[in-house]
Structure 1
Amino acid sequence: MNMSENHPGRRRVVIVDDHGIFRSGLKAELGDAVEVIGEAPTVDEAAQVIRESLPEVVLLDVHLPGGTGGGGAEVVKLCRDLLEEVRFLAISVSDEATDVVSVIRAGARGYVTKTISTEELIGAIDAVAAGDAVFSPRLAGFVLDAFGTSGLVEDVRDEELDRLSAREVEVMRLIARGYTYREIASELFISIKTVETHVSKVLRKLQLSSRHELTRWAEQRRIV
């Protein structure tokens, strides 16, 4: 466990991974962009460090020793009462459906693979700390498939929709129905630039990268 003094302006982070070399490497890569206030190699130690330090974000490996064998998902469950103030971002070499589903269902706000760039990871930490959900770009579609095919989409549907404002939901529905930006602007009595802004926010909040993915997302939830 490595505790340090508070430094305002930087996200307070705890790193949980059973490989010391990875933890050290990650701290070096993140540098001064965040404040690493703790680290842990096991489920039990992780829960203790998180409760003691109350970080903004926990960078969490999915496969961890200790506890009852639940790995990263178990850490999140052990800290479920802290989820309003502590956000969990899974970072793993695995992109298996079972790993993604278990840790997200437990309460993690995102899941990225260890191939993520340092700049992207820093952005993901900021996004998760702000309450957004974050997934590696190549996992975005896979995550939707994983939740859908495992029957868990009902568990996350309301939470995902709650991220969008009423206006963003309106714009999303029209995009999914095939409306052009100009048609949406006319329908909602707003400017094309405002439509573009709403679409950009929707894609970011839902971690999607195109109109096609957005349409698919809406169709899966039967809200088109």
Structure 2
Amino acid sequence: MTDAPTPVGPVTIVIVDDHGMFRRGVRAELESAGASEIDVRAEAADVDEAVAAIAEHHPDVVLLDVHLPGGGGVEVMRRLATSPTMSTSGVPPRFLALSVSDAAEDVIGTIRGGARGYVTKTITGPELVQAIQRVATGDAVFSPRLAGFVLDAFAGTIEVSAVDEDLDRLTEREREVMRLIARGYAYKEVAKELFISIKTVETHMSNVLRKLQLSSRHELTRWASDRRLL
């Protein structure tokens, strides 16, 4: 493994997420919790913007959402792997996934794609600052539950390919809505969590039930539980 020098000065980052309100909230939280330790160089809303911002700003760490227009966070890492760029510390940027999803197939797929860590959007500002700093120095950062997914996958106890095949019928946004609804969130809570309208949540939920040939939230919860998506 390539040695990862400790960045000189603040850790430079690019925030990649397709929700503008969320990006601004993360930036404000980081600037408050780690004003002298984190330097947010840019934001990006999709794969193309992310690749361009990383190439321009050479961040130490990319804070990367899993579900992005244009191919998702894995596509960002794939493109940069084929057209490498160096961070200000002289090593390739390191990727820390920050996602609403804590589903096994998202965590494992993102790590296989090249991320050094994966945290969920329930993380606090100080915790996120610490996670970014650790990833910048080459550490791998996960919550205990997510680390268990990764260990299980590489031990062969989770069949990720089967899970992915079942989910192929759903769009990335439908998957996010599906997981939250299956966990018992109300439509209003899902709308707030994902920064979308209640009507949009209802539309996505209708599409999910139709595509999966399910008839109720109860059946959806059982379907998701059987696939270890909760």
> TM-score, normalized by length of structure 1?
0.60
1:85-104 aligned at under 5 Å gives the runs 85-104=92-111
Give the conservation status (yes or no) of the 8 Å contact 2:107–2:149.
no
2:151 is paired with a residue whose SS is helix
Q: Note if 1:79 corresponds to 2:80.
A: yes
Greater radius of gyration (CA) = 1
Unaligned runs of 5+ in 2: 1-7, 161-230
Distance 1:141 1:102 in 2: 14
Q: Per-residue deviation at 1:43? A: 0.7
Q: Which residue of 2 aligns with 1:62?
A: 66
Contact 1:11 1:126 in 2 (8 A): yes
Match of 1:28 in 2: 28
**Which aligned pairs between 1:1-224 and structure 2 lie closer than 5 A?**
9-31=9-31, 32=35, 33-66=37-70, 70-80=71-81, 81-82=84-85, 84-148=91-155, 149-150=157-158
Deviations 1:48-101 (A, max 9, x none): 1111111000000000002xxx30011011112347420000000101122112
How many corresponding residue pairs?
143
Equivalent AA in structure 1 for residue 149 of structure 2: F
Runs of 4+ more than 4 Å apart: none
1:137 deviation in Å? 2.9
For the aligned residue pairs, the C-alpha RMSD in angstroms reads: 2.0
User: Relative contact order: is structure 1 or structure 2 higher (C-alpha 8 Å, sep ≥ 6)?
Assistant: 2
Q: Is the 8 A contact 2:60 2:136 kept in 1?
A: yes
Share of identical aligned residues, percent?
61
Quote how far apart the aligned CAs of 1:9 are. Answer: 1.5
Contact 1:13/1:59 (8 A) holds in 2: yes
Q: Quick one: distance in 2 between partners of 1:125 and 1:98?
A: 23
SS of residue in 2 equivalent to 1:46? helix
